Protein backbone atom coordinates (compact mmCIF):
# COMPACT_ATOMS: atom_id res chain seq x y z
CA UNK A 1 0.00 0.00 0.00
CA UNK A 2 1.03 3.57 -0.45
CA UNK A 3 1.48 5.96 2.45
CA UNK A 4 -1.25 8.26 1.07
CA UNK A 5 -3.71 5.35 1.09
CA UNK A 6 -2.76 4.47 4.66
CA UNK A 7 -3.26 8.08 5.73
CA UNK A 8 -6.57 8.35 3.83
CA UNK A 9 -8.10 6.09 6.47
CA UNK A 10 -6.04 7.69 9.29
CA UNK A 11 -3.68 4.73 9.64
CA UNK A 12 -3.82 2.31 12.54
CA UNK A 13 -6.55 2.77 15.10
CA UNK A 14 -4.83 3.38 18.44
CA UNK A 15 -7.60 1.32 20.04
CA UNK A 16 -5.66 -1.81 19.06
CA UNK A 17 -2.18 -0.70 20.14
CA UNK A 18 0.31 -2.23 20.59
CA UNK A 19 -0.89 -5.17 18.45
CA UNK A 20 -3.59 -7.70 17.66
CA UNK A 21 -6.60 -7.08 15.41
CA UNK A 22 -5.15 -3.82 14.02
CA UNK A 23 -4.58 -5.49 10.65
CA UNK A 24 -8.17 -6.77 10.43
CA UNK A 25 -9.43 -3.31 11.36
CA UNK A 26 -7.27 -1.79 8.58
CA UNK A 27 -8.57 -4.29 6.02
CA UNK A 28 -12.19 -3.56 6.98
CA UNK A 29 -11.62 0.18 6.60
CA UNK A 30 -9.82 -0.19 3.25
CA UNK A 31 -12.68 -2.40 2.05
CA UNK A 32 -15.31 0.16 3.10
CA UNK A 33 -13.29 2.94 1.45
CA UNK A 34 -13.55 1.03 -1.83
CA UNK A 35 -10.01 -0.28 -2.21
CA UNK A 36 -9.59 -3.45 -4.25
CA UNK A 37 -7.64 -6.35 -2.81
CA UNK A 38 -5.10 -8.27 -4.85
CA UNK A 39 -3.69 -11.50 -3.51
CA UNK A 40 -0.61 -12.79 -5.28
CA UNK A 41 -0.16 -16.55 -5.06
CA UNK A 42 3.61 -16.48 -5.55
CA UNK A 43 4.50 -13.99 -2.81
CA UNK A 44 6.53 -14.63 0.31
CA UNK A 45 5.79 -12.79 3.54
CA UNK A 46 7.84 -12.99 6.69
CA UNK A 47 5.94 -12.21 9.86
CA UNK A 48 7.80 -11.06 12.94
CA UNK A 49 5.34 -12.95 15.15
CA UNK A 50 8.05 -15.30 16.30
CA UNK A 51 10.07 -12.31 17.50
CA UNK A 52 7.14 -10.42 19.01
CA UNK A 53 5.26 -11.10 22.21
CA UNK A 54 3.33 -14.11 20.91
CA UNK A 55 6.11 -16.70 21.19
CA UNK A 56 8.56 -14.57 23.18
CA UNK A 57 10.39 -16.72 25.72
CA UNK A 58 10.89 -13.65 27.94
CA UNK A 59 7.09 -13.22 28.14
CA UNK A 60 6.33 -16.87 28.95
CA UNK A 61 6.09 -18.13 25.38
CA UNK A 62 8.17 -20.53 23.33
CA UNK A 63 8.25 -21.81 19.77
CA UNK A 64 4.63 -22.74 19.10
CA UNK A 65 3.50 -21.69 22.62
CA UNK A 66 1.61 -18.42 23.04
CA UNK A 67 2.82 -16.17 25.84
CA UNK A 68 0.42 -15.03 28.56
CA UNK A 69 1.09 -11.45 27.49
CA UNK A 70 -0.02 -12.18 23.93
CA UNK A 71 -3.09 -14.16 25.05
CA UNK A 72 -4.21 -11.28 27.25
CA UNK A 73 -3.64 -8.67 24.53
CA UNK A 74 -5.36 -10.64 21.78
CA UNK A 75 -8.36 -11.37 24.02
CA UNK A 76 -8.66 -7.72 25.06
CA UNK A 77 -8.33 -6.49 21.49
CA UNK A 78 -10.88 -8.97 20.17
CA UNK A 79 -13.37 -7.48 22.65
CA UNK A 80 -12.48 -4.01 21.35
CA UNK A 81 -12.89 -5.23 17.75
CA UNK A 82 -16.34 -6.65 18.57
CA UNK A 83 -17.40 -3.43 20.29
CA UNK A 84 -16.27 -1.38 17.27
CA UNK A 85 -17.48 -3.63 14.41
CA UNK A 86 -20.28 -5.60 16.09
CA UNK A 87 -18.76 -8.93 15.00
CA UNK A 88 -15.63 -10.97 15.40
CA UNK A 89 -13.10 -10.78 12.55
CA UNK A 90 -14.79 -12.03 9.37
CA UNK A 91 -13.29 -12.92 6.01
CA UNK A 92 -13.98 -15.19 3.08
CA UNK A 93 -11.95 -18.24 2.03
CA UNK A 94 -9.41 -15.95 0.34
CA UNK A 95 -9.05 -13.75 3.45
CA UNK A 96 -10.96 -10.83 1.87
CA UNK A 97 -12.75 -8.96 4.66
CA UNK A 98 -16.46 -9.38 5.23
CA UNK A 99 -17.97 -6.31 6.89
CA UNK A 100 -21.43 -6.67 8.38
CA UNK A 101 -23.60 -3.61 8.99
CA UNK A 102 -22.81 -1.80 12.24
CA UNK A 103 -25.70 -0.69 14.42
CA UNK A 104 -25.87 1.15 17.73
CA UNK A 105 -27.08 -1.53 20.15
CA UNK A 106 -27.83 -1.77 23.84
CA UNK A 107 -28.11 -5.11 25.61
CA UNK A 108 -30.27 -5.11 28.74
CA UNK A 109 -29.81 -8.14 30.98
CA UNK A 110 -32.08 -9.13 33.82
CA UNK A 111 -30.96 -11.81 36.27
CA UNK A 112 -27.37 -11.38 35.16
CA UNK A 113 -24.12 -12.54 36.70
CA UNK A 114 -20.52 -11.34 36.32
CA UNK A 115 -19.64 -13.98 33.70
CA UNK A 116 -22.64 -13.09 31.53
CA UNK A 117 -21.95 -9.36 31.90
CA UNK A 118 -18.37 -9.91 30.76
CA UNK A 119 -19.36 -12.14 27.83
CA UNK A 120 -22.01 -9.75 26.49
CA UNK A 121 -20.34 -6.39 27.20
CA UNK A 122 -18.42 -6.18 23.89
CA UNK A 123 -21.61 -6.84 21.88
CA UNK A 124 -23.28 -3.67 23.20
CA UNK A 125 -22.03 -0.27 22.07
CA UNK A 126 -24.52 1.80 24.04
CA UNK A 127 -26.85 2.81 21.20
CA UNK A 128 -30.60 3.23 21.33
CA UNK A 129 -31.26 2.19 17.71
CA UNK A 130 -31.39 -1.49 18.67
CA UNK A 131 -32.47 -2.70 22.13
CA UNK A 132 -31.72 -6.31 23.03
CA UNK A 133 -33.29 -7.83 26.12
CA UNK A 134 -32.25 -11.12 27.66
CA UNK A 135 -32.87 -12.98 30.87
CA UNK A 136 -29.76 -14.50 32.41
CA UNK A 137 -31.82 -17.39 33.80
CA UNK A 138 -32.81 -18.62 30.32
CA UNK A 139 -29.90 -17.36 28.19
CA UNK A 140 -28.13 -20.27 26.46
CA UNK A 141 -25.53 -21.05 23.78
CA UNK A 142 -28.05 -20.71 20.94
CA UNK A 143 -28.99 -17.27 22.26
CA UNK A 144 -25.31 -16.29 22.31
CA UNK A 145 -25.08 -17.35 18.66
CA UNK A 146 -27.97 -14.97 17.91
CA UNK A 147 -26.06 -12.16 19.63
CA UNK A 148 -22.94 -12.96 17.56
CA UNK A 149 -24.91 -12.78 14.27
CA UNK A 150 -27.24 -9.99 15.36
CA UNK A 151 -26.02 -7.34 12.89
CA UNK A 152 -26.74 -9.61 9.93
CA UNK A 153 -30.06 -10.71 11.47
CA UNK A 154 -31.12 -7.07 11.84
CA UNK A 155 -30.11 -6.31 8.25
CA UNK A 156 -32.07 -9.32 6.99
CA UNK A 157 -35.15 -8.29 8.98
CA UNK A 158 -35.25 -5.01 7.05
CA UNK A 159 -37.84 -3.36 9.23
CA UNK A 160 -38.44 -1.48 12.43
CA UNK A 161 -40.30 -3.40 15.13
CA UNK A 162 -39.95 -6.15 17.73
CA UNK A 163 -39.31 -9.86 17.44
CA UNK A 164 -37.92 -12.70 19.47
CA UNK A 165 -35.31 -15.30 18.54
CA UNK A 166 -34.99 -18.00 21.16
CA UNK A 167 -34.75 -16.17 24.47
CA UNK A 168 -33.53 -12.91 22.88
CA UNK A 169 -36.01 -10.06 22.42
CA UNK A 170 -34.91 -7.56 19.78
CA UNK A 171 -36.44 -4.10 19.34
CA UNK A 172 -35.39 -2.23 16.20
CA UNK A 173 -36.02 1.50 16.55
CA UNK A 174 -33.83 2.51 13.61
CA UNK A 175 -32.03 0.74 10.78
CA UNK A 176 -29.29 3.38 10.54
CA UNK A 177 -25.96 1.76 9.67
CA UNK A 178 -22.69 3.19 10.98
CA UNK A 179 -19.93 1.08 9.40
CA UNK A 180 -18.86 3.83 6.98
CA UNK A 181 -18.20 6.13 9.93
CA UNK A 182 -15.54 3.64 11.06
CA UNK A 183 -13.34 4.30 8.01
CA UNK A 184 -11.84 7.24 9.91
CA UNK A 185 -11.52 5.37 13.26
CA UNK A 186 -14.52 7.01 14.92
CA UNK A 187 -18.06 5.89 15.75
Q: Nearest-5° angle of CA 185, CA 84, CA 101?
A: 100
Beta carbons of 21 and 74 less than 8 angstroms apart: yes
* Helix residue ranges, H only, the chain: 3-8, 22-33, 68-85, 114-120, 141-148, 150-157
Tens digit of each residue's pLDDT, the chain (187 residues): 789 999 999 999 999 987 789 999 999 999 999 999 888 888 887 665 555 667 777 677 787 788 888 888 899 999 999 999 999 999 999 889 999 999 999 999 999 999 999 999 999 998 999 999 999 999 999 999 999 999 999 999 999 999 999 999 999 999 999 999 999 866 5
Contact in structure between 16 and 75 (CB atoms under 8 Å): no
Strand pairing of 130-135 and 105-110?
Answer: parallel
Distances (CA, A) of 111 to 32, 116, 134, 136: 39, 10, 9, 5
pTM value? Answer: 0.89
Grouping H, G, I as helix, E, B as strand and the rest as coil, residue 157 is: helix
Strand partners, 91: 97
Q: Is 38 exposed, middle or buried (0-12, 13-18, 19+ CB in 10 A)?
A: exposed
Q: Domain boundaries in the chain?
A: 3-85, 105-184
Would you say 127 and 103 are in contact if contact means Cβ atoms under 8 Å apart?
yes
Amino acid sequence: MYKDDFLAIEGHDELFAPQSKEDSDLFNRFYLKGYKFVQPWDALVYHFTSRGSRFNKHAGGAAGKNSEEWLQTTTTNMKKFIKKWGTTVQHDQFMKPIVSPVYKKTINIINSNPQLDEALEPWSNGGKDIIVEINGNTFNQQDFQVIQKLNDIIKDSGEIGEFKLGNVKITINSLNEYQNELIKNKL
